[in-house]
């Protein structure tokens, strides 16, 4: 699989997590800001218990309403936030666990929200996933037809 190389295009990214993802989200926010991305960190600021559907809805709505922006969500497993974010019309959230899954979520599925599991990824691994996700473009073609069918499901 080939991926674009070189510097990432600078993008606006909304980021959030539940309590289990606070530390990893904070690390990734700093990593992305060093790369020059416009990061809107929507918290939470502490590891006090929080409910992942609330953060997922907030990110999903922000991405939906700001069509050029992307989203980043982190929870313990990544599973809860991906399920909740995909309930928001216009969101194509993907759970990535390795660089291949992160790249394919963009190239084949045009994912606009990346979901990560803090309990299963090191900071270095998570950086690699975010970096490849941002560096990979949507291929279009037959994949555009399939993404269109996903949008049709939202209208059903």
Distance CA 106, CA 25 (A): 20
Q: Of the candidates 27, 29, 73, 69, which has an alpha carbon nearest to the alpha carbon of residue 51?
A: 73
Our answer to whether residue 27 is catalytic in this structure is no
Our answer to whether residue 115 is catalytic in this structure is no
3, 75, 115, 143: the catalytic one is 75
8, 27, 31, 108: the catalytic one is 108
Residue 90 DSSP class = T
144-152 contacts at long range (C-beta below 8 A, 24 or more positions apart)? 144/110, 146/108, 146/109, 147/92, 147/109, 147/110, 150/92, 150/109, 151/90
Distance CA 70, CA 66 (A): 8
Catalytic residues: 75, 108
């Amino acid at each position: 699989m080939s991926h674009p190389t070189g510097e990432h295009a600078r993008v606006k990214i909304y980021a959030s997590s539940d309590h289990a993802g606070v530390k990893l989200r904070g690390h990734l926010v700093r990593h992305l800001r060093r790369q020059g991305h416009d990061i809107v960190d929507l918290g939470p600021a502490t590891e006090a218990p929080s409910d992942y559907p609330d953060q997922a809805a907030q990110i999903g709505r922000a991405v939906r309403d700001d069509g050029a922006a992307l989203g980043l969500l982190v929870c313990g497993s990544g599973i809860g936030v991906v399920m909740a974010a995909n309930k928001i019309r216009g969101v194509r959230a993907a759970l990535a666990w390795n660089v291949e899954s992160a790249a394919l979520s963009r190239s084949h599925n045009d994912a606009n929200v990346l979901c990560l599991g803090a309990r299963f990824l090191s900071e270095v691994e998570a950086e690699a996933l975010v970096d490849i996700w941002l560096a990979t473009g949507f291929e279009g073609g037959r994949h555009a037809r399939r993404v269109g069918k996903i949008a049709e499901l939202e209208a059903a």
